[in-house]
Copies of this chain bind each other. A is one copy, B any other.
Amino acid sequence: MTRPAHILAPGATIGILGGGQLGRMLALAAARIGLRCHIYSPDTDSCAFDVVQKATQAGYEDEEHLARFAQAVDVITYEFENVPHHTAEFLATRCAVVPDPTVLATTQDRLAEKTFVNRLGIPTAPFAAVGSEAEIVSGLDAVGRPAILKTQRLGYDGKGQRTIGPESDALAAWADLGHTPCILEGFVPFEREVSILAARSRNGQVVCFDVTENEHRNHILKTSRAPAAVSDAVTAEARRIAGTIAEAFGYVGVLAVELFIVRDGTSHSVLVNEIAPRVHNSGHWTIDGCTVSQFEQHVRAVAGWPLGEPVRHSDVEMINLIGAEIEETARWLAVPGACVHHYGKAEARPGRKMGHVTRLLGPASTDKAG
């Protein structure tokens, strides 16, 4: 049984599962509008701990600490979609958990997620479940080569995936992934990768941020630009898709939908790549580019407050500082129009998101291409 959420009063406390930069930026956004956060994270060096008075460092299986956490906060949310499902369920019997833990069950599993999206009539890349060597063979027949073999669960930033090229040994790739249940995805010849961030309030209001264009490097987001150079029709379709998904989940909070834009004769089709049931790296530009950020919007939704109408005042570009790139901070601090964000992580491991820079490129345009 999940507890219903209440409308929070200023000064109330939001519990956040996860202690990374998303939790940190959520807590900073909450503070701006008079709400407190309590961070729960297993990691001793969680960078979100630094910006709150109350933090719990304990495991996701530690029911004693979880119960105490649930008692100390007014509502619970996540910054991290791989919170164990039973952790969320355990908490939900003691405190309101938003969005509902059932969402995690779907989005933690690539197969369940894609099936869910297709059932809503929204296209994805072709895919096939892989649980045996025979299914790899039949899957490749179905989706063609090149394809991408991904673990069904717990993948992010390119972790747990292997590209299957024309000559690749698909069976070896699966062995390399430990023979865990996987999904084989057909390659989508996309023109652009974009994402849309949508917020849904408890009473069903949906507000989207402008479509964002994303570039990845080594499977990790490197830059985002808003607005994306896409047509009005693509924008409308992206918004429709985000709204449909949010509605189908009965979602409360901010959710990100990563999309492939594929040229289709003279027009474009829009395919769902992935859903993130949380604030998302491709929305970091909203902190500096909009009157209401994705983080504040999520906090408002979770608190039962009205969503904002985020006015984007500038065209923007967001650049991730990954690993040792964090040392470029000093240079960025001196660039006019650059907004520097440093997550305060102690160790700059390769591939680790350490900070980001948002550059304002000029007054907000509504010009679109594509």
Which residues on A are within 8 Å of B, measured CB to CB? 10-11, 24, 27-28, 31-36, 49-53, 55, 288, 291-292, 300, 305-306, 308-309, 311, 313-314, 326, 329-330, 333-334, 336-344, 346, 355, 360, 363-364
Contacts and interface: CB of A to CB of B under 8 A. Distances in A.
| Among A49, A313, A326, A330: residue with most chain B CB under 10 A | A313
B53 A31 contact: no
A360 B290 CA distance: 10
B36 A31 contact: no
A346 B360 CA distance: 36
A329 B10 contact: yes
Contacts of A309: 334, 336-337
A313 B313 CA distance: 7
A343 B36 CA distance: 11
A137 B10 CA distance: 51
Contacts of A55: 53
Given A51-B52, A53-B53, A339 B291 contact: yes
A333 B305 contact: yes
A264 B344 CA distance: 52
B337 A311 contact: yes
Contacts of A346: 11
B292 A344 contact: no
